[in-house]
Amino acid sequence: MTIIKSAEEIAIMRQAGRITAIVLQKMSEAVKPGLKTRQLDEIAERELGKWDTARASFKGYRGYPASICVSVNDEVVHGIPGKKVLKEGDIVSLDFGVIYRGFQGDAAVTVGVGTVRKSPGNP
């Protein structure tokens, strides 16, 4: 069965996506050596707080304790933010989801910390 969304629902979905993109952008801009991964979660929560009815879709899901998922280098996806400190050359995966007026926005980005160099064996 195909469900056709109304113009209002599509506008809400678009805003959920926009909120997701803004939060990911703010976190991406903050990535730098010396930053703890939990600080990225704090940035996400602060940015999310600018929208009254938006909430992080990951936080509380099956007991998940954070608003974002963050993985550094070869860590498995969906890592929990914490005390890990980012270093020059790290590669960070940021995943964020929002529920806004009943609709989901969800996306992920990969960000280099400072200067990222090719690893030996990778062309």
Q: How many residues does the chain have?
A: 123
122 within domain boundaries: no
120 within domain boundaries: no
- Phi, psi (degrees; rounded to nearest 5) at 114: 65, -135
- Note the pLDDT tens digit of each residue in 78-106: 999 999 999 999 999 999 999 999 999 99
Number of domains in the chain: 1
Question: What is the SS3 string spanning 5-73?
Answer: CCHHHHHHHHHHHHHHHHHHHHHHHHCCCCCEHHHHHHHHHHHHCCCCCEEECCCCHHHCCCCEEEEEC
Q: Give Cα 88 to chain centroid, integer Å.
A: 20
CATH of the domain at 72: 3.90.230.10
Residue indicated by tokens 């678009």: 14
Distance, CA of 18 to CA of 2 (rounded, Å): 25
Judge whether residue 120 has pLDDT over 80.
no
119 within domain boundaries: no
* pLDDT level of residue 122 (50, 70, 90 thresholds): low
- Note the pLDDT tens digit of each residue in 54-69: 999 999 999 999 999 9
123 within domain boundaries: no
pTM to 2 decimal places: 0.91
Count other C-beta atoms under 10 Å from residue 57's C-beta: 19
117 within domain boundaries: no
* pLDDT level of residue 117 (50, 70, 90 thresholds): confident
Residue indicated by tokens 């469900």: 3
**Are 50 and 97 contacting, i.e. CB atoms less than 8 angstroms apart?**
no
